[in-house]
Amino acid sequence: MKKEDPMTRPDIKKILDYRTIAVVGLSPDPGKASHEVAAYLKRAGYRIIPVNPAATEIFGEKCYPTLADVPETVEIVDIFRRSEFVPEIVEQAIAKGAKVVWMQEGIVNQEAAERAEAAGLTVVMDRCLLKEHVKQARQ
């Protein structure tokens, strides 16, 4: 993974001001990291839009098979899918007009990150949205 340049490091505080998050790969299983992170963000007041083709509803919200199927505006696309699936998700995020692509811990795809940045999206890679939110709340 490319080391973050402090001059181009994403402004996490600014990112956390966005309120609508599509969680791609959100599991209905409370034991999964995606569920835990999304549940925390929902409790923190974020609008969570579940994206998972194997579920119809999570957190009482309609679940969409793909990001492209989400009919509303999405600001942050939080990705809980393996790195090889990220390029397609990034293309959908660009098409939706998302502001941020956030790849959770362990998810790295440099080419997709560069594509998203070239399209004007902010990219966070290999970091946990929940941990970053907690960190900001403590500051």
CATH of the domain at 41: 3.40.50.720
At 59, list the tokens: 């957190």
Buried b vs exposed e over 10-38: b needs ≥16 C-beta within 10 Å? bebeebbebebbbbbbbbbeeeebbbebb
* Residue 6 domain flag: no
Q: Is residue 4 in some structural domain?
A: no
Please give the Cα distance from 136 to 74 (Å, whole number): 22
Domain of 53, in residue numbers: 12-138
State the pLDDT confidence band at 8, using cuts at 50, 70 and 90: low
Q: What is the pTM of this model?
A: 0.93
For 29-44, what is each residue's pLDDT tens digit?
999 999 999 999 999 9
Per residue in 39-73, pLDDT (tens digit) is: 999 999 999 999 999 999 999 999 999 999 999 99
Q: Are strands 76-79 and 100-103 parallel, antiparallel or unpaired?
A: parallel
Residue 52 falls inside a structural domain: yes
Residue 114 lies in a domain: yes
Residue 3 lies in a domain: no
